[in-house]
Chain A
């Protein structure tokens, strides 16, 4: 079958192979000028035989494709020019400006490619995040839902300002507990049982800007630890990771990575074990991007009465993402406390006075 693509979008000499659709049948269907047997999603022979394209579609589709492809070709020419300029320019600010412009053009060149659109809509788990266009689509999806959701949860549960003052989210943070049988991504604000959280979680940090070897710090804090002396609450540090190198290709922080790099962990994981009648504890996960080229070199950090704002300021950390779950005393909490040698938890009065 002939292909509608006669130009740059079927040429993978300088474009990445990840910009193509991996499924051959789908690709063939997407690039064929007509659909003699209908879309590949049709499974039954009778449906395939009955299929008729909408009137005029067979004429319009190749025309539209070729127009968009020619536009993309022009954009690629501009990219080439910028690449030439980049070689000549020495000034760093101009260079970074040109780089930004190039990234923008790389997005523009591919944003209308049907194969890219298909991958971004339906193949988000196996997408190549080193490609600016895919990051563009991922960011759009995240801004439409994920970012709003996490901000709503942080605000309504008052994690901001109870931990950090505020947040301008720049990365998508996903969290799960892989030590359990069932693997699922935790929705921000979920109330989890003490059993589910008894081993360290794994995180995925999805960057939308180009990121090659940025360093990150992750802090998990509980701002609802009862402080009986002052009749108030204090913050406990439950987990501290520093100098974690992440990139667009690999944004995962899991047990495998931590076993290989034990120096990442500067405060070991302590599971949330709320005491009875202290209500739901908000367990906030904060992801910080470290200042460029600056390593966090924190000596002994106290878990109790942890001041996250001071810590972030002292180490020049910028909060870029967050996640949270909630924990509450349950019938298994004492077992978890025993497992970690914490001693029996206190019992608080049921009524407030």
Chain B
């Protein structure tokens, strides 16, 4: 029975083999295993420098695939994850508690130093530079400019030259105008006072108050004098004391006589009380001059009002407020300020009337506008 079964099975297999041979195609499939012919030479990975070994800058410490080891202190990593030394020192293989899953390779700067360094310690750094003792080399190095600097320098020097010129011109102008306010000053004092006023002007333009500007002008002078006495020993203590005293006297005179107004023009000094009083007087005068700002005034009054508003007692914002209060750029459109037709005294204004849905032309008298500033 078994042999009969066997012969039957064999016969079936033979039949199926015969069938398979029938469907063979024109091309023969390349045979072989999936991993056949896939070997490559070894890449010589692994440590190139070991624990405690001395290295210099750029030496390779580890070749690896991926970051099996991470770069620690003073070690860099290449694009193929090669670790290399960035400082000369001693190789350390270590673990860092801040990154418990990583292994590190670092360079300790000293032979006996351990890594990682204490977390709150100042970083261990190497200067790595020498002082150039050769005067020629030192000079050459000092004068060396990067391309960026050498390109920018001419422009910077040009601008500085212009600034210096402007400053000198400003001080010369101040020195010229100062005798108008303080005639009794001698030439030396005038030039010193002009320097001081120039400094104050700069501080004011930078946003300091007049009081602060005066304080810092004095402070800087005394500070420089102290440096000349203590640091550079250019002046003796007696001369320094004398200069200081002289300057203090000059400050007293200059500050009590001149100041700068809101537009940085030199003018007569006003004490706080004088200033307040002058402000009140001017506002009272303006009220008298222009009782109702909505009624047009003639040119003469306008000029007078401008004069009162631009008095030295007012700051820039106060001037602006007063101008808005007394000299309105456009007066309200009252019946007296409307004209009937186009004349040389009227201005034609086209305006949409939303009720009639038509553009209307309104003729307004020119005196209803403040107009351009004249005086």
Binding site for B on A (CB under 8 A): 158, 161-163, 165-166, 178-183, 199, 223, 226-228, 231-233, 255-256, 259, 276-278, 338-342, 346-353
Q: Which residue of B lies closest to A258 (CB)?
A: B219
**B220 adjacent to A277 (CB under 8 Å):** no
Q: In the bound complex, what is the Cα–Cα distance between A227 and B227 (angstroms)? A: 27
**B205 adjacent to A347 (CB under 8 Å):** no
Q: In the bound complex, what is the Cα–Cα distance between A113 and B207 (angstroms)? A: 33
Q: Which residue of B lies closest to A161 (CB)?
A: B120
Residues 190-223 of chain B, each 1 if its beta carbon lies under 8 Å from chain A, else 0: 0000000000001101111000100110011001
**A228 adjacent to B130 (CB under 8 Å):** yes
Pick the contact of A340: B125, B138, B215, B227 (CB < 8 A). B227
Q: Which residue of B lies closest to A160 (CB)?
A: B120
Pick the contact of B128: A158, A179, A339, A353 (CB < 8 A). A353
B351 on interface, CB distance cutoff 8 Å? no
Q: Which residue of A lies closest to B208 (CB)?
A: A183
**A158 adjacent to B216 (CB under 8 Å):** no
**A347 adjacent to B142 (CB under 8 Å):** yes
Residue among A165, A181, A346 with most chain B CB within 10 A? A181
B123 on interface, CB distance cutoff 8 Å? yes
Q: Which residue of B lies closest to A225 (CB)?
A: B127
B354 on interface, CB distance cutoff 8 Å? no
Q: A residues within 8 A CB of B127?
A: 226-228, 231-233
Q: In the bound complex, what is the Cα–Cα distance between A12 and B202 (angstroms)? A: 43
Q: A179-B219, A181-B205, A353-B129 are in contact. Are A338 and B232 (CB under 8 A)?
A: yes
**B231 adjacent to A161 (CB under 8 Å):** no
**B206 adjacent to A348 (CB under 8 Å):** no
**B142 adjacent to A341 (CB under 8 Å):** no
Q: A residues within 8 A CB of B233?
A: 341
Q: In the bound complex, what is the Cα–Cα distance between A146 and B220 (angstroms)? A: 31
Residues 105-124 of chain B, each 1 if its beta carbon lies under 8 Å from chain A, else 0: 00000000000000111111
Q: In the bound complex, what is the Cα–Cα distance between A207 and B232 (angstroms)? A: 39
CB distance from A204 to the nearest CB of B (A): 14
Q: A residues within 8 A CB of B130?
A: 228, 348-349, 353
**A339 adjacent to B231 (CB under 8 Å):** yes
Binding site secondary structure of chain B: loop
CB distance from B243 to the nearest CB of A (A): 17
**B231 adjacent to A340 (CB under 8 Å):** yes
Pick the contact of B126: A181, A223, A232, A259 (CB < 8 A). A232
B10 on interface, CB distance cutoff 8 Å? no
B26 on interface, CB distance cutoff 8 Å? no
Pick the contact of A255: B126, B141, B216, B227 (CB < 8 A). B216
Q: A residues within 8 A CB of B98?
A: none
Q: In the bound complex, what is the Cα–Cα distance between A199 and B216 (angstroms)? A: 11
Q: A255-B215, A340-B231 are in contact. Are A162 and B129 (CB under 8 A)?
A: no
**A179 adjacent to B220 (CB under 8 Å):** yes
CB distance from B154 to the nearest CB of A (A): 13
**B131 adjacent to A255 (CB under 8 Å):** no
Q: List 30 A-B contacts (CB under 8 A).
A: A161-B121, A161-B122, A161-B123, A162-B123, A163-B122, A178-B208, A179-B220, A179-B223, A181-B205, A182-B207, A199-B220, A232-B125, A233-B125, A233-B127, A255-B215, A255-B216, A255-B219, A259-B219, A339-B231, A340-B227, A341-B231, A342-B231, A346-B138, A347-B131, A347-B142, A348-B130, A349-B129, A349-B130, A349-B132, A351-B129
Q: A179-B219, A199-B223, A341-B227 are in contact. Are A228 and B120 (CB under 8 A)?
A: no
**B141 adjacent to A180 (CB under 8 Å):** no
Pick the contact of A165: B120, B142, B224 (CB < 8 A). B120
- 16 further A-B pairs in the complex, CB-CB below 8 A; given A233-B125, A342-B231: A158-B123, A161-B122, A162-B123, A183-B208, A199-B223, A223-B122, A232-B125, A256-B215, A278-B129, A339-B232, A347-B142, A348-B129, A348-B130, A348-B131, A349-B130, A350-B141
- Using a Cβ–Cβ cut-off of 8 Å, how many residues does chain B contribute to the interface with A? 35
**B206 adjacent to A182 (CB under 8 Å):** yes
Q: In the bound complex, what is the Cα–Cα distance between A338 and B125 (angstroms)? A: 30
Q: In the bound complex, what is the Cα–Cα distance between A199 and B231 (angstroms)? A: 14
Q: In the bound complex, what is the Cα–Cα distance between A48 and B58 (angstroms)? A: 72
Q: In the bound complex, what is the Cα–Cα distance between A226 and B132 (angstroms)? A: 14
Q: A residues within 8 A CB of B121?
A: 161
Q: Which residue of B lies closest to A231 (CB)?
A: B127
Q: Which residue of B lies closest to A233 (CB)?
A: B125
B2 on interface, CB distance cutoff 8 Å? no
**A339 adjacent to B227 (CB under 8 Å):** yes
CB distance from A281 to the nearest CB of B (A): 13
CB distance from A166 to the nearest CB of B (A): 7
Q: In the bound complex, what is the Cα–Cα distance between A231 and B110 (angstroms)? A: 12
Pick the contact of A183: B119, B129, B144, B207 (CB < 8 A). B207
Pick the contact of A276: B126, B141, B220, B224 (CB < 8 A). B141
Residue among B128, B208, B233 with most chain A CB within 10 A? B128
**A347 adjacent to B227 (CB under 8 Å):** no
Q: A residues within 8 A CB of B141?
A: 276-277, 347, 349-350
CB distance from B160 to the nearest CB of A (A): 10
Q: A residues within 8 A CB of B219?
A: 179, 255, 259
Q: In the bound complex, what is the Cα–Cα distance between A179 and B199 (angstroms)? A: 10
Q: B residues within 8 A CB of A340?
A: 227, 231-232
Nearest 3 Cβ contacts at the A-B interface: A341-B231, A165-B120, A352-B128
Pick the contact of A179: B144, B216, B227 (CB < 8 A). B216
Q: Which residue of A lies closest to B223 (CB)?
A: A199
Q: B residues within 8 A CB of A180?
A: 206
**B132 adjacent to A347 (CB under 8 Å):** yes
Q: In the bound complex, what is the Cα–Cα distance between A339 and B232 (angstroms)? A: 7
CB distance from B157 to the nearest CB of A (A): 10
Q: A residues within 8 A CB of B206?
A: 180-183
Pick the contact of A162: B122, B202, B224, B231 (CB < 8 A). B122
Q: Which residue of B lies closest to A348 (CB)?
A: B129
Residues 229-249 of chain B, each 1 if its beta carbon lies under 8 Å from chain A, else 0: 001110000000000000000
Q: Which residue of A lies closest to B153 (CB)?
A: A331
Q: In the bound complex, what is the Cα–Cα distance between A351 and B144 (angstroms)? A: 13
